Structure 1
Amino acid sequence: MRSHMPGQIKTKQINHVTTMVKDTARAMKFYNELLGIKQIESQVPNPEITWLQLDNGIMVHLIETEEAPVKPENTHHAFEVEDFEGTMKILEENGYEISRHGVRYDGQGFMFTHDPDGNRVEFCTGSGYFPAPGRPD
Protein backbone atom coordinates (compact mmCIF):
# COMPACT_ATOMS: atom_id res chain seq x y z
CA MET A 1 0.00 0.00 0.00
CA ARG A 2 1.31 3.44 -0.93
CA SER A 3 1.93 5.98 1.75
CA HIS A 4 -0.54 8.84 1.68
CA MET A 5 -1.07 12.20 3.32
CA PRO A 6 -4.27 12.85 5.28
CA GLY A 7 -6.95 14.50 3.22
CA GLN A 8 -5.98 13.34 -0.27
CA ILE A 9 -9.63 12.60 -0.99
CA LYS A 10 -11.77 15.71 -0.48
CA THR A 11 -14.88 14.42 1.28
CA LYS A 12 -17.72 16.95 1.16
CA GLN A 13 -20.43 15.41 3.34
CA ILE A 14 -22.33 12.26 4.26
CA ASN A 15 -24.55 11.52 1.26
CA HIS A 16 -26.72 8.75 2.74
CA VAL A 17 -27.02 6.07 5.38
CA THR A 18 -28.62 2.67 4.94
CA THR A 19 -30.90 0.92 7.39
CA MET A 20 -31.97 -2.70 7.09
CA VAL A 21 -35.69 -3.26 7.80
CA LYS A 22 -37.89 -6.35 7.80
CA ASP A 23 -41.10 -4.48 6.93
CA THR A 24 -40.87 -1.28 4.87
CA ALA A 25 -44.44 -0.20 5.65
CA ARG A 26 -43.75 -0.47 9.38
CA ALA A 27 -40.42 1.35 9.00
CA MET A 28 -42.10 4.15 7.02
CA LYS A 29 -44.44 4.82 9.96
CA PHE A 30 -41.31 5.64 11.97
CA TYR A 31 -39.00 7.32 9.43
CA ASN A 32 -41.61 9.06 7.28
CA GLU A 33 -44.67 9.64 9.47
CA LEU A 34 -42.97 10.13 12.86
CA LEU A 35 -39.60 11.64 11.90
CA GLY A 36 -40.92 13.46 8.83
CA ILE A 37 -38.23 12.23 6.42
CA LYS A 38 -39.76 12.56 2.95
CA GLN A 39 -39.87 9.67 0.48
CA ILE A 40 -38.25 10.42 -2.88
CA GLU A 41 -38.12 8.54 -6.17
CA SER A 42 -35.74 5.57 -6.18
CA GLN A 43 -32.61 5.96 -8.30
CA VAL A 44 -31.90 2.23 -8.66
CA PRO A 45 -33.93 -0.65 -10.15
CA ASN A 46 -34.38 -2.41 -6.78
CA PRO A 47 -37.88 -2.43 -5.28
CA GLU A 48 -36.48 -3.53 -1.91
CA ILE A 49 -34.86 -0.10 -1.39
CA THR A 50 -37.00 2.87 -0.32
CA TRP A 51 -35.33 6.26 -0.68
CA LEU A 52 -35.99 9.02 1.86
CA GLN A 53 -34.41 12.47 2.07
CA LEU A 54 -33.98 15.09 4.78
CA ASP A 55 -34.49 18.77 3.96
CA ASN A 56 -30.68 19.24 3.94
CA GLY A 57 -30.32 16.64 1.16
CA ILE A 58 -28.89 13.78 3.23
CA MET A 59 -30.70 10.56 2.38
CA VAL A 60 -31.81 7.48 4.29
CA HIS A 61 -32.17 4.25 2.30
CA LEU A 62 -34.44 1.62 3.84
CA ILE A 63 -33.51 -1.82 2.53
CA GLU A 64 -36.10 -4.51 3.15
CA THR A 65 -34.54 -7.87 4.01
CA GLU A 66 -35.30 -10.84 6.22
CA GLU A 67 -31.72 -10.43 7.47
CA ALA A 68 -32.55 -7.15 9.24
CA PRO A 69 -31.22 -5.50 11.23
CA VAL A 70 -27.88 -6.24 9.55
CA LYS A 71 -26.96 -7.52 6.10
CA PRO A 72 -23.23 -6.71 5.92
CA GLU A 73 -23.00 -6.13 2.18
CA ASN A 74 -25.68 -3.41 2.36
CA THR A 75 -24.60 -1.61 5.53
CA HIS A 76 -22.27 1.21 4.56
CA HIS A 77 -21.40 4.89 4.77
CA ALA A 78 -21.61 6.96 1.60
CA PHE A 79 -19.24 9.91 1.33
CA GLU A 80 -19.86 12.54 -1.33
CA VAL A 81 -16.54 13.57 -2.88
CA GLU A 82 -15.39 16.52 -5.01
CA ASP A 83 -13.31 14.56 -7.55
CA PHE A 84 -14.90 11.21 -8.38
CA GLU A 85 -12.30 9.96 -10.86
CA GLY A 86 -9.45 11.26 -8.70
CA THR A 87 -10.90 9.45 -5.68
CA MET A 88 -11.03 6.17 -7.59
CA LYS A 89 -7.40 6.62 -8.66
CA ILE A 90 -6.22 7.43 -5.11
CA LEU A 91 -8.05 4.43 -3.66
CA GLU A 92 -6.60 2.06 -6.26
CA GLU A 93 -3.08 3.51 -5.87
CA ASN A 94 -3.34 2.81 -2.15
CA GLY A 95 -4.35 -0.81 -2.65
CA TYR A 96 -8.12 -0.51 -2.23
CA GLU A 97 -10.09 -2.54 -4.77
CA ILE A 98 -13.21 -0.95 -6.26
CA SER A 99 -15.79 -3.72 -5.91
CA ARG A 100 -18.58 -2.04 -7.88
CA HIS A 101 -19.19 1.30 -9.60
CA GLY A 102 -21.66 2.94 -11.95
CA VAL A 103 -24.14 5.76 -12.48
CA ARG A 104 -27.61 5.97 -10.93
CA TYR A 105 -30.73 7.25 -12.75
CA ASP A 106 -30.18 10.79 -11.46
CA GLY A 107 -26.62 10.97 -12.84
CA GLN A 108 -24.95 10.27 -9.49
CA GLY A 109 -21.69 8.35 -9.83
CA PHE A 110 -20.96 5.73 -7.18
CA MET A 111 -18.24 3.27 -6.25
CA PHE A 112 -17.79 0.79 -3.43
CA THR A 113 -14.65 -0.39 -1.67
CA HIS A 114 -13.87 -1.80 1.78
CA ASP A 115 -11.97 -0.23 4.65
CA PRO A 116 -9.04 -2.12 6.24
CA ASP A 117 -11.46 -4.00 8.55
CA GLY A 118 -13.68 -5.11 5.67
CA ASN A 119 -16.46 -2.55 6.22
CA ARG A 120 -18.13 -1.51 2.99
CA VAL A 121 -17.64 2.18 2.08
CA GLU A 122 -19.26 4.08 -0.79
CA PHE A 123 -17.89 7.20 -2.48
CA CYS A 124 -20.28 9.13 -4.68
CA THR A 125 -20.95 12.38 -6.50
CA GLY A 126 -23.94 14.65 -6.15
CA SER A 127 -26.91 14.11 -8.47
CA GLY A 128 -26.37 15.24 -12.05
CA TYR A 129 -22.59 14.72 -12.06
CA PHE A 130 -22.79 12.33 -15.04
CA PRO A 131 -25.38 12.17 -17.85
CA ALA A 132 -28.30 10.26 -16.39
CA PRO A 133 -28.92 6.81 -17.88
CA GLY A 134 -32.44 6.06 -19.05
CA ARG A 135 -34.79 4.20 -16.75
CA PRO A 136 -35.86 0.75 -17.93
CA ASP A 137 -39.45 0.51 -19.15
Structure 2
Amino acid sequence: MFKFTVNHIAISVKDVVKSIEFYQEVFQLKEIKNTASNSKTRWLVFNDNRQLHLIPKPNEVVKINKAVHFAISTINIQEFISHLIALEIGYSDWLGTVKKDYVRNDGIIQVYFQDPNGYWIEVNNDVR
Protein backbone atom coordinates (compact mmCIF):
# COMPACT_ATOMS: atom_id res chain seq x y z
CA MET A 1 0.00 0.00 0.00
CA PHE A 2 1.17 3.53 -0.77
CA LYS A 3 1.59 6.25 1.85
CA PHE A 4 0.88 9.82 0.86
CA THR A 5 1.39 13.22 2.45
CA VAL A 6 0.33 16.62 1.18
CA ASN A 7 3.24 18.34 -0.55
CA HIS A 8 1.66 21.58 -1.73
CA ILE A 9 -1.50 23.36 -2.76
CA ALA A 10 -1.39 25.36 -6.00
CA ILE A 11 -3.89 28.03 -6.94
CA SER A 12 -4.24 30.42 -9.87
CA VAL A 13 -4.14 34.06 -8.85
CA LYS A 14 -4.88 37.31 -10.67
CA ASP A 15 -2.24 39.38 -8.86
CA VAL A 16 0.61 37.36 -7.37
CA VAL A 17 2.01 40.28 -5.35
CA LYS A 18 -1.35 41.05 -3.76
CA SER A 19 -1.83 37.34 -3.02
CA ILE A 20 1.63 36.99 -1.46
CA GLU A 21 0.91 39.98 0.79
CA PHE A 22 -2.47 38.51 1.83
CA TYR A 23 -1.13 35.07 2.74
CA GLN A 24 1.86 36.51 4.57
CA GLU A 25 -0.29 38.93 6.54
CA VAL A 26 -3.06 36.48 7.42
CA PHE A 27 -1.01 33.32 8.04
CA GLN A 28 2.52 34.73 8.54
CA LEU A 29 3.79 32.39 5.81
CA LYS A 30 7.39 32.63 4.75
CA GLU A 31 8.23 32.94 1.06
CA ILE A 32 10.66 30.32 -0.21
CA LYS A 33 12.47 29.96 -3.51
CA ASN A 34 10.62 28.46 -6.45
CA THR A 35 13.09 25.69 -7.21
CA ALA A 36 11.01 24.19 -10.03
CA SER A 37 11.37 26.90 -12.66
CA ASN A 38 12.20 30.51 -13.44
CA SER A 39 8.50 31.31 -13.77
CA LYS A 40 6.69 34.04 -11.87
CA THR A 41 5.03 31.40 -9.67
CA ARG A 42 5.80 32.18 -6.02
CA TRP A 43 5.99 29.71 -3.19
CA LEU A 44 5.07 30.09 0.47
CA VAL A 45 5.59 27.57 3.25
CA PHE A 46 3.49 26.65 6.30
CA ASN A 47 4.98 25.71 9.69
CA ASP A 48 4.76 22.00 8.80
CA ASN A 49 6.77 22.59 5.58
CA ARG A 50 3.71 22.12 3.36
CA GLN A 51 3.73 24.67 0.57
CA LEU A 52 1.29 27.02 -1.11
CA HIS A 53 2.15 27.81 -4.74
CA LEU A 54 0.63 30.98 -6.19
CA ILE A 55 0.53 30.73 -9.96
CA PRO A 56 -0.09 34.04 -11.77
CA LYS A 57 -2.88 33.64 -14.31
CA PRO A 58 -4.27 37.18 -14.66
CA ASN A 59 -6.43 36.36 -17.68
CA GLU A 60 -7.83 32.99 -16.53
CA VAL A 61 -11.38 32.62 -15.29
CA VAL A 62 -11.56 30.30 -12.31
CA LYS A 63 -14.96 29.09 -11.13
CA ILE A 64 -15.01 29.41 -7.36
CA ASN A 65 -17.52 28.22 -4.80
CA LYS A 66 -17.30 27.42 -1.10
CA ALA A 67 -17.20 23.66 -1.73
CA VAL A 68 -13.82 24.24 -3.43
CA HIS A 69 -11.68 25.31 -0.50
CA PHE A 70 -8.66 24.32 1.50
CA ALA A 71 -8.55 24.04 5.27
CA ILE A 72 -5.87 25.08 7.72
CA SER A 73 -5.90 24.13 11.40
CA THR A 74 -4.77 26.10 14.42
CA ILE A 75 -5.00 25.35 18.11
CA ASN A 76 -5.75 29.06 18.74
CA ILE A 77 -8.97 29.42 16.72
CA GLN A 78 -10.46 32.24 18.84
CA GLU A 79 -7.20 34.19 18.67
CA PHE A 80 -7.16 33.69 14.90
CA ILE A 81 -10.74 34.96 14.60
CA SER A 82 -9.65 38.07 16.53
CA HIS A 83 -6.75 38.38 14.05
CA LEU A 84 -9.21 38.33 11.12
CA ILE A 85 -11.30 41.01 12.82
CA ALA A 86 -8.21 43.18 13.39
CA LEU A 87 -7.29 42.79 9.71
CA GLU A 88 -10.90 43.66 8.77
CA ILE A 89 -11.29 40.37 6.90
CA GLY A 90 -14.89 39.25 6.83
CA TYR A 91 -15.62 35.65 7.79
CA SER A 92 -18.66 33.43 8.06
CA ASP A 93 -19.84 29.97 8.90
CA TRP A 94 -20.49 27.31 6.21
CA LEU A 95 -24.02 28.65 5.60
CA GLY A 96 -22.72 32.17 5.05
CA THR A 97 -23.78 33.79 8.32
CA VAL A 98 -21.43 36.76 8.59
CA LYS A 99 -19.11 37.08 11.64
CA LYS A 100 -20.14 33.65 12.90
CA ASP A 101 -18.10 30.56 13.50
CA TYR A 102 -19.56 27.08 13.19
CA VAL A 103 -19.22 24.19 15.63
CA ARG A 104 -19.38 20.86 13.81
CA ASN A 105 -21.08 17.82 15.35
CA ASP A 106 -17.62 16.56 16.42
CA GLY A 107 -16.91 19.82 18.32
CA ILE A 108 -14.51 21.31 15.78
CA ILE A 109 -14.88 25.10 15.33
CA GLN A 110 -14.49 26.46 11.82
CA VAL A 111 -14.68 29.77 9.97
CA TYR A 112 -14.59 30.56 6.26
CA PHE A 113 -13.28 33.59 4.41
CA GLN A 114 -11.98 34.45 0.94
CA ASP A 115 -8.58 35.50 -0.33
CA PRO A 116 -8.19 38.41 -2.80
CA ASN A 117 -8.92 36.03 -5.72
CA GLY A 118 -12.15 34.73 -4.21
CA TYR A 119 -10.77 31.36 -3.06
CA TRP A 120 -12.47 30.05 0.06
CA ILE A 121 -10.29 29.18 3.03
CA GLU A 122 -11.47 27.25 6.07
CA VAL A 123 -9.63 27.66 9.35
CA ASN A 124 -10.52 25.22 12.09
CA ASN A 125 -9.16 23.87 15.37
CA ASP A 126 -8.89 20.22 14.27
CA VAL A 127 -5.23 19.72 15.21
CA ARG A 128 -5.30 15.99 15.90
Q: What TM bracket, shorter-length normalisation?
A: 0.3 to 0.5
The TM-score with structure 2 as length reference comes to 0.44
